[in-house]
Amino acid sequence: MKKILSLLLAVAILLSGSIPAFADETKPPNLPAASESYIVIDAKTGQVLLEKNSHKKEYPASITKIMTTALGVQNGKPDDSITISKEVVSDIWRWGETTHLALEPGEVITLRDAFYGTMVESANDCANAIAQSVSGNLEDFTALMNQQVTALGLTNTHFTNAHGLYDKEHYTTAYDMAMITRWALSVDGFEEYFCAKSYTIPKTNKKKVERNIGTHHHMIVNSKYSYEYAIGGKLGWTSESRHTIVTWAKKGDLSLICVAMNCQNKWDKYTDTARLFDYCFDTYDMVSVTADDMASFDVPVGSLQNPSGMVHISASKDLDLLVEKGTPTESVAFIYDIPSRYRAGETIAPQVDVYSGGVLVASVPMDFTVETYRTETEMEKPEKEPGAFTAVLLAILKWMGIILAAIVVVLFGLRAYFMARRRKRRAARRKSASQGGNRPH
């Protein structure tokens, strides 16, 4: 899809009529961190605020369970019963001793129990139980996970299991994991499990005592590493992935997601996350741009040379974005990525690049409407009159056709005349010959 920035230079200045001088695009600052890769995004828009190696492939470990639980919440009901299969239990023992709830084949739990067991205790058998409940078996659920990855437009993630235990083909990135978490938070009901600090699994047909579980995420409970604004999250660890962490925090109007991956030390992941959150909360403010303040575009339908009509592309929702505190409104500008033409029924994805002080601070999709119409000229366009040369040519061809038809008629007439005369001569000769043959000798 071609851009028409060169044609329109579609620059719209927020609350200002002047065009700022654009500087070279720069990345957000990389803050010191022990984690090999990290990212902080705005949970509402997906705007990237901070990042380091955020597109580098890493092993996620148990933060995988965010995808698992979100799919479970989306496709099941909390009160649904699960009879634990042998596959659910035996699968996790391939990795040796791991975190689990000692579920047994034939044990009956609810899907709600599996959600809490997966997110709070990080129990691998509970993650497999969700997979069994949703898809019937582990393999089909893994396919569902990867289908969701594709639906989110993520290209650096591939899952081979529901729990995150090490597999060389099971990987993601800090960026992809942040976007998966953002999607998961949009699934109605997921937040309950993502933000849970403790849960009690009731007695079952196989376990005669309750099982009390509590989160291991120190930023959302009272601890040395608790963080005032953290409200939910998930941890992960294997010897291959090292420590991974996803945390959701809110302060005022700001809702942020932080992902840190491949951290050597158990506690550094918390200090990294707190430092990244502090920077973003101290640096950014939310600005809302109304749909009316955003530019709209008229784009031809079909080819540029021979359009069959026009469509009107305009913003349908207000745009919220984060800019540095104290940023003058006249230094905020948009550049729109709009297709140069439109084909009826096609899917388009207009983007808005947001510049603050000449620096690219966000590239976000634009919620838009497409209104199809024909121009007044097209609706009232008369039939095209032929040119002088064309008119003369048509007249000549017309008379040539008439003459040709006349010649054909004359030729057919002459042919009929001569054929008739020939028949008469033959008849006369036959008659003469007949009379001569009857004379006496």
8 A C-beta contact, residue 245 and residue 263: yes
Q: Which two tokens stand for residue 169?
A: 């083909």
In degrees, rounded to 5, the angle at the alpha carbon of residue 243 between the alpha carbons of residues 237 and 246 is: 95
Q: Which amino acid is at 351?
A: Q
**Catalytic: which of 65, 241, 269, 331?**
65
Query: What does the CA dihedral 89, 93, 99, 100 come to, rounded to 10 degrees?
Result: 20
> What count of residues does the chain have?
441
Give dist(CA 138, CA 60) in Å, integer: 18
* Phi, psi values for residue 353, rounded to 5°: -90, 125
Q: Which amino acid is at 301?
A: V
- Which H or E run contains 287? strand 284-289
**Catalytic: which of 122, 133, 241, 255?**
122
Neighbouring CB atoms inside 10 A of 8's CB total 15
Look up 62 and say whether it is catalytic: yes
**Catalytic: which of 54, 62, 241, 255?**
62
Look up 122 and say whether it is catalytic: yes
Q: Which two tokens stand for residue 246?
A: 């996803």
Give dist(CA 135, CA 88) in Å, integer: 12
Produce one character per residue of 161-172: b if its CB has 16 or more CB atoms within 10 Å, e if not.
Answer: bbbbbeeeebbb
Query: What does the CA dihedral 365, 371, 374, 375 come to, rounded to 10 degrees?
Result: -70
Q: Is 87 exposed, middle or buried (0-12, 13-18, 19+ CB in 10 A)?
A: middle
8 A C-beta contact, residue 196 and residue 120: yes
Nearest CA to 129 out of 147, 121, 141, 146 is that of: 141
Give dist(CA 318, CA 101) in Å, integer: 46
Nearest CA to 361 out of 57, 54, 33, 45 is that of: 45
Give dist(CA 25, CA 201) in Å, integer: 52
C-alpha distance across the termini of the chain, in Å: 108
Look up 325 and say whether it is catalytic: no
Q: Active-site positions?
A: 62, 65, 122
